[in-house]
């Protein structure tokens, strides 16, 4: 079984959809912090595209603990959230400040309260949490669904930059500490460093204190190479379009309706 959680009105083929809002007509109506209708170790894959930023900390940790619970060992987790490191860098440099602020706070919440943004993650934060939950073998992933996992932000007058942090991980083991106890600790001290709380619990339970966790070099390298490759592809296409200005709109339409309005990076990667 493959789960697409926080599904809204998306219906990816081959996935069982889960959403808190019954008006979206998901296969399973459930809060992803408590997916009790889904049995332990019953899922081969969980996809959560731009869901966790709509949940307060540490309740979004509880949701990730649920992902770990329902996944089989060897199962795949795919998470996408706004890339807070990128957005903050853009904000500090003054690039597209109003658009970036809207992405950080989730202006869709004016219409639908479920669309408000309540928390954010950087890549190291995400890896820290997922490692504690028993995940490893981190990678990058590209979404085949036209959702916010393909999101972009304007940069300058005619540039776009992908703003989605898409992290893939494999469940390799059980969580390192009791998830219920960790959640209760995080509720008491929500602003304390996550790994400090984990280390304290490990010490109390007699477990060996975890080594300092770092973002896997493989993942950072993959992200770097993808960026270089994407920039080269964009440059090549822009040169082609500049040489044939009358055909620019046709080149856009050839990419297919699924890609309209999505970042050039995704179009070039064939996603």
Interval 39-51: pLDDT, tens = 999 999 999 999 9
Dig out the tokens for 42 from the structure: 């019953």
Residues 195-230: tens digit of each pLDDT: 999 999 988 755 554 444 555 665 665 665 566 556
Put residue 41 in one of left, alpha, beta given phi > 0 → left and psi -120 to 50 → alpha. Answer: left
Contact 29, 41 (CB under 8 A): no
Residue 5: pLDDT band by 50, 70, 90 thresholds?
A: very high
Angle at 37 between CA 31 and CA 39, to 5 degrees: 120
Distance between alpha carbon 264 and the CA centroid of its chain, in Å?
19
Domains of the chain: 2-174 (3.40.50.150)
Residues 6-24: tens digit of each pLDDT: 998 899 999 999 999 999 9
- Report the pLDDT value the prediction gives residue 234, as an integer from 0 to 100: 65
User: What's the mean per-residue pLDDT of the chain?
Assistant: 81
Alpha-carbon Rg for the chain in angstroms: 20
Residues 122-180: tens digit of each pLDDT: 999 999 999 999 999 999 898 888 788 877 666 665 666 678 899 999 999 999 899 99
Residue 58: cis peptide before it, omega within 30 degrees of 0: yes
Distance between alpha carbon 72 and the CA centroid of its chain, in Å?
20
Decide: helix, strand or coil at residue 136: strand
Assess whether pLDDT exceeds 60 at residue 91: yes
Rounded mean pLDDT of 182-188? Answer: 96
Rounded mean pLDDT of 103-117? Answer: 79
Contacts of 125 (CB under 8 A, 6+ apart): 194
C-alpha span between 269 and 252 (Å, rounded): 14
Rounded mean pLDDT of 190-199? Answer: 94
Assess whether pLDDT exceeds 70 at residue 31: yes
Contact 27, 13 (CB under 8 A): no
């Amino acid at each position: 079984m493959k789960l697409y959680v926080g599904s809204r009105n998306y219906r990816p083929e081959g996935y069982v959809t889960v959403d808190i809002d019954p008006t979206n007509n998901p296969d399973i109506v459930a809060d992803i912090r408590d997916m009790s209708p889904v049995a332990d170790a019953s899922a081969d894959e969980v996809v959560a595209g731009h869901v966790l930023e709509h949940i307060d900390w540490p309740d979004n940790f509880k949701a990730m603990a649920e992902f770990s619970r329902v996944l089989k060992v060897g199962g795949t987790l795919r998470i996408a959230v706004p890339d807070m490191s990128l957005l903050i860098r853009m904000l500090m440099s003054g690039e597209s400040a109003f658009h970036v602020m809207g992405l950080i706070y989730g202006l869709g919440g004016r219409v639908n309260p479920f669309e408000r943004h309540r928390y954010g993650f950087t890549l190291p934060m995400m890896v820290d949490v997922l490692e504690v939950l028993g995940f490893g073998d981190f990678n990058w992933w590209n979404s085949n669904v036209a959702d916010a996992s393909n999101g972009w932000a304007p940069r300058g007058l005619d540039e776009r930059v992908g703003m989605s942090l898409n992290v893939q991980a494999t469940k390799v083991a059980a969580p390192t500490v009791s998830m219920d106890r960790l959640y209760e600790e995080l509720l008491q001290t929500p602003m304390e460093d996550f790994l400090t709380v984990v280390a304290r619990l490990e010490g109390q339970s007699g477990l060996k204190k975890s080594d300092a966790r770092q973002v896997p070099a493989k993942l950072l390298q993959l992200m770097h190479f993808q960026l270089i490759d994407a920039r080269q592809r964009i440059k090549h296409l822009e040169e082609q379009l500049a040489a044939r200005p009358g055909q620019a709109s046709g080149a856009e339409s050839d990419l297919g309706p699924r890609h309209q309005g999505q970042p050039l990076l995704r179009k070039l990667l064939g996603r």
